[in-house]
Structure 1
Amino acid sequence: MSEANVPYDANEFTGKRILVTGGTRGIGEAIVNRLRRGGGTVLATARTIPVGGNPKRFIQADGSTNAGAHQMIKTAFDLLGGLDILINSLGGSSAPGGGVLALTDDIWQQELELNLFSAVRLDRGFLPAMLKQQSGVIIHISSIQRTLPLFESTL
C-alpha cells in the first residue's frame, strides 16, 4: 500500500508539540514527515542537520551523550514551550563482529549509551512536564534485531 492510499486526518496532530529523535533518516524521518503532514509542530534530532534543514525544525545533538540529551531537552522547551509527544527512534550499533566475546566493556558502554540511556535521559527530562500538564505520550522504537537477530549480536 502506498503512502498516498493511507487515509489520515490532515489535522490529527494540530496543536501537538513533538520531538522525534533520529528524525532525519529511516523510520524516524518517515515519522517526522507523517506527523508534520498531520499538522504537528515537530522537531527532529540528529547528529548532523540535513543540508538546507531549517534550524527551527531540527536539533543538532548527539543523543548518546548526557550533554546531547540536555541540549535536546533545553532546545525543545525553548522552541516549543513544552512537549506533548516524544518519539525515541534513535539507535543503532557500531559493535564489531566476532560475537559477544569480542565486545569490550567500552563497546558495551557505547551501545548502552546510544540504545538505552539516550531514551532514559530524555524520558527523565520530559516526563515531569508531561505529568504536570496531565498529558503526554512517549514512544520507544527499538531495533529489528529482536526479531531478526544477527548471529554475532546474540548471546
Structure 2
Amino acid sequence: MHWQRILVGGTKGAGKAIADRFLRGGGTVIITARSAPEEETESHFVRADVSTSEGTTKVIPEMLDLFKGVDIIVHNVGGSSAPSGGFITVTDERWQQAINENLFPAVRLDRGLLPSTIERGSGVIIHVSSIQRTLPLYHSTLAYAAVKAALTNYSKALSNEVSPKEVRVVTVSPGFRETAAATRMFER
C-alpha cells in the first residue's frame, strides 16, 4: 500500500527524526512547519504556522486537493515559551499561546482532514502529548502541561468517536528528549 502521511511539525528535533523514519518507509510524506527543512528532502513541504487558523486553512485544502486525503496524521507540533516563575507569571496571553500551539493545531487539522480519512475506510491519528500532562513542571511549564493534558483528553474522546469507523487515534507521551526546544526550556 502507498501510505500518505502528514507530519505536523517535522523539520526539527523529534519531528525531523519522525520524518526521516517515514521517508525510509516509503510512500508520500508531507511535512508542515513554520520553517523549511534545513536539508534537501524527498517529502512534500508546506510552510504554515498551524498555531493559527490561517495556517491550518492553508494546509487542509492542499492535502485534500493534491493528495486526496491522508492515511496517517502525526501531530508533533507544540512547545512552551512561558517564563519561569510559576502560575503568577502565566498571563492570559501565555495561556492562549499555549492553547494555540499545543491543542488547536490538532483540533483544526483533525476537523479538516479526518472526514477524508474516514471516507478512505482506515487511518491513524497520532497526537504527541507530553509526560508533563501528568507530571507538570509548575515553575516553568504550567500552561504547556495543562494544555497537553487537554490534548490527551481530546485524543481519547476522538478515539471513542471514530474508532468504530476504522480510524485509530492514539496519544504518545514521550519523556525528556534532548532537543533545542528542551534546552531553551531549561535555560529559562
Deviations 1:44-73 (A, max 9, x none): 111011245469621100010001011111
State how far apart, in whole Å, the 2-side matches of 1:74 and 1:54 are.
22
**TM-score when normalising by structure 2:** 0.69
State how far apart, in whole Å, the 1-side matches of 2:77 and 2:54 are.
16
| Aligned twin of 1:3 | none
Q: For the aligned residues, what is the CA RMSD?
A: 2.0
| Aligned twin of 1:30 | 17
Identical pairs, percent: 49
Query: Higher mean Cα deviation, 138-147 or 104-113?
Result: 138-147
| Aligned twin of 1:138 | 125
| Aligned twin of 1:128 | 115
| Aligned twin of 1:11 | none
State how far apart, in whole Å, the 2-side matches of 1:116 and 1:16 are.
25
What aligned pairs does 1:1-155 form with structure 2 within 5 A after superposition? 14-51=1-38, 53=40, 57-146=44-133, 149-152=136-139, 153-154=141-142
Structure 1 residues 55 and 41: alpha-carbon distance in aligned structure 2, compared to 1, 3 A threshold: closer
Q: Would the aligned equivalents of 1:56 and 1:79 in 2 still touch at CA under 8 Å?
A: no
Deviations 1:2-59 (A, max 9, x none): xxxxxxxxxxxx5001100110111111111111111121011110112454696211
Aligned residues: 142
Unaligned 5+ segments in structure 1 are 1-13
Query: Higher mean Cα deviation, 53-62 or 64-73?
Result: 53-62
Q: Would the aligned equivalents of 2:87 and 2:138 in 1 still touch at CA under 8 Å?
A: no
| Aligned twin of 1:7 | none
SS at match of 2:30: strand
**TM-score when normalising by structure 1:** 0.82
Amino acid at match of 2:107: V
SS at match of 2:20: helix
| Aligned twin of 2:164 | none
Q: Would the aligned equivalents of 1:22 and 1:88 in 2 still touch at CA under 8 Å?
A: yes
* Structure with the higher fraction of residues in helix conformation: 2
Amino acid at match of 2:37: P
